[in-house]
Amino acid sequence: MRKTVAVLALGLLSVAPAQAVAADPDTTALRNAVTRAEVLRYEQRLNAIGLSNENNRLTASQGNFESVNYVIGELRKIGYNPTLVPYANTSSPNAWSERTPSTLEVVTSPNQTTLPNGKTFVNGTAATSDFAQMTWSQSADITAQVIPAARIQIPPPATADTVRSGCSMSDFPAAVKDNLVLVQRGGCTELVKAINARANGAKGLIIMNEGQTGRTASARYVSQTYPGTVGLGVTYALGQQLYEAAQTGPVTLRFKSDNNLTLRIDYDISAETPGGDPTRVLQVGAHIDGVAAGPGINDDGTGTAMNLTIASQIMKLGITPKYKIRFGWFSGEEQGLFGSTFFVNQLNSLQTTQTLAMLDYDMIASTNWIPFMYVPNDVTEPTLPAAQRAAEATLSKTHIDYLNSKLNVKQVDYPFDNRSDYAQWRRPSATRGVPATGFYTGAEGIKTAAQVADNAASTAGTGGQAGIQADPCYHEWCDTVFNLSQYGLDEFTDVLAHSILSFAGVGADAVEMPIRTDN
């Protein structure tokens, strides 16, 4: 959990009613099957890994690699077919630069060197200002035909950032495969366009500027990190030339680059239930790394172990969800959300819209727990789309209903601060907009007397202690198996199990999330 400031007081935000609340028979079997003993068994192993590796499980450390290997092994024993997802981030020692200037040349065009309107093709070899290679692009020597994607607008619309060429998987014709695809800037991030292009088999991506005032020059867009897409940004003028020439006949370009690319590889884990509709996927996440100061057994060994327990019992009970559940264990959270950011950035626009929701479970058994529930943030996100806001209210309310009705626990609403792995999934600015929520039992925040009183009558039999941190060992050497609420390990795992099955479509009263479309 990446927290830098304590949350001392949070006003309750309005939460829209859920469409339905899963009835007890839907989740009772799983809740009965997930036990504190199984969660603790996984936690003890993570604790031993940390203690035997300089008391930490920091990303890219031996402790982290052993943690990843352990979870992979347990998933295979259970019967899953987990995927090890390598990723690199842009922090040191990772580096990208051009050893030599890249070149862009016309090989063939309808009139070889001129366009139907009499204009001469810009030759990138002599005019490098007309294009710029995308950061993190791979070294390449590509000779291929230019295939325009759908929804390119020439002349451009008056309003900037409205052209959506390349934002949808359907923008790419079949001819894109093994060729260079031309898209236009706008409507979504260049990264989304790059992901969609790669998913459709393009050898490389050319992004022309949109064309309005101030949006005509070439730009060095940021591409993906690993494995990167070959790509470049070109001026609106060059993009227009390529587009118009391609309407007349085949246009073939040669793009050559020689890059210095240094990447440190870390790893995420992904495991999907065998059953469930693959076109509607519930993403469940936790982070598998820790900080340098300690083994991170609450932060986030609890999310790691609880999700592993729930995944285990779903398989053992033979539960077939209506919708596929994808469990993810992400590295690099403590260093900057690196693993989860990379993971979501591997999804094309169609896969993103097929993701029902992201449930993030980070720190679930703080010893002096504060029952925080992530909810939409009205202050920092006043323009959050109404549909996403409503979906996130539904997600949080399902957790809240269980806390209130079954545990007599009164939650504290926690407005999203984008400091855990849900962030990249839900950000509209990243053209993702996957609704998310998460249950979180507190870090360095001081528990108030009011919070103690609110939960004095909970099934825990106590409301905790006022005036001390929710987790006194947060990011400290003492975040070990002795830093866990046994009540949290037992009861809060049930909150997770109930919510996961509810959103995965189990039972007649499951909570149905709205279907989104690839745009």
Q: pLDDT tens, 6-28? A: 333 333 333 333 444 444 558 99
pLDDT of residue 12: 33
3-state secondary structure of 42: helix
Q: Is residue 16 one of the residues assigned to a domain?
A: no
The rounded distance, in Å, linking the Cα atoms of 67 and 293 is: 16
Q: Is residue 12 one of the residues assigned to a domain?
A: no
Q: Please tell me whether residues 487 and 442 are part of one structural domain.
A: yes
Structural domain harbouring 251? 96-261
Q: Find the CATH number of the domain harbouring 374.
A: 3.40.630.10
Q: Please tell me whether residues 125 and 107 are part of one structural domain.
A: yes
Banded pLDDT at 209 (limits 50, 70, 90): very high
The two tokens of residue 372 are: 């925080």
Q: Please tell me whether residues 332 and 454 are part of one structural domain.
A: yes
Residue after which a domain boundary falls, among 195, 230, 261: 261
Banded pLDDT at 225 (limits 50, 70, 90): very low
Q: Is residue 304 one of the residues assigned to a domain?
A: yes
Task: Provide the percentage of residues in the chain whose pLDDT is more than 90.
Answer: 70
pLDDT of 115 over the 50 cut = no
pLDDT of residue 191: 86
Q: Please tell me whether residues 186 and 333 are part of one structural domain.
A: no
The rounded distance, in Å, linking the Cα atoms of 93 and 109 is: 42
Q: Please tell me whether residues 293 and 408 are part of one structural domain.
A: yes
The rounded distance, in Å, linking the Cα atoms of 356 and 512 is: 9
Distances (CA, A) of 226 to 263, 291, 347, 371: 8, 24, 13, 37
User: If you search the block for the tokens 């720190």, which residue do you land on?
Assistant: 363
Q: Please tell me whether residues 376 and 431 are part of one structural domain.
A: yes
Q: Is residue 4 one of the residues assigned to a domain?
A: no
pLDDT of 457 over the 90 cut = yes
62-71: pLDDT as tens digits: 999 999 999 9
Q: Is residue 181 one of the residues assigned to a domain?
A: yes
Banded pLDDT at 215 (limits 50, 70, 90): very high
289-332: pLDDT as tens digits: 999 999 999 999 999 999 999 999 999 999 999 999 999 999 99
pLDDT of 221 over the 90 cut = no
pLDDT of 129 over the 80 cut = no
The rounded distance, in Å, linking the Cα atoms of 163 and 157 is: 8
Q: Is residue 493 one of the residues assigned to a domain?
A: yes
The rounded distance, in Å, linking the Cα atoms of 373 and 455 is: 15
The two tokens of residue 513 are: 């999330």
| Residue 54 annotated to the active site | no
Task: Provide the percentage of residues in the chain whose pLDDT is more than 70.
Answer: 89
Q: Please tell me whether residues 349 and 406 are part of one structural domain.
A: yes
pLDDT of residue 106: 83
pLDDT of residue 291: 96
Q: Please tell me whether residues 274 and 212 are part of one structural domain.
A: no
Residue after which a domain boundary falls, among 207, 228, 261: 261
Q: Please tell me whether residues 214 and 301 are part of one structural domain.
A: no
The rounded distance, in Å, linking the Cα atoms of 354 and 2 is: 28
- How far does CA 123 lie from the centroid of its chain? 39
pTM, to two decimals:
0.89
Q: Find the CATH number of the domain harbouring 200.
A: 3.50.30.30
Q: Please tell me whether residues 190 and 116 are part of one structural domain.
A: yes
Average pLDDT over residues 206-212: 95
pLDDT of residue 463: 95
Q: Is residue 515 one of the residues assigned to a domain?
A: no
The rounded distance, in Å, linking the Cα atoms of 125 and 358 is: 46
Q: Please tell me whether residues 224 and 332 are part of one structural domain.
A: no
pLDDT of 226 over the 50 cut = no
Average pLDDT over residues 106-123: 59
71-89: pLDDT as tens digits: 999 999 999 999 999 888 7
Q: Which residues pair with 142 in a beta bridge?
A: 255
Residue after which a domain boundary falls, among 261, 290, 310: 261
Banded pLDDT at 4 (limits 50, 70, 90): very low
User: Which of 38, 210, 272, 333 is flagged as catalytic?
Assistant: 333
Number of domains in the chain: 2
The rounded distance, in Å, linking the Cα atoms of 190 and 167 is: 9
Q: Is residue 495 one of the residues assigned to a domain?
A: yes
From 475, 137, 144, select the one nearest 296 (Cα to Cα): 475
Q: Please tell me whether residues 140 and 286 are part of one structural domain.
A: no
Residues belonging to the chain = 519
Banded pLDDT at 288 (limits 50, 70, 90): very high
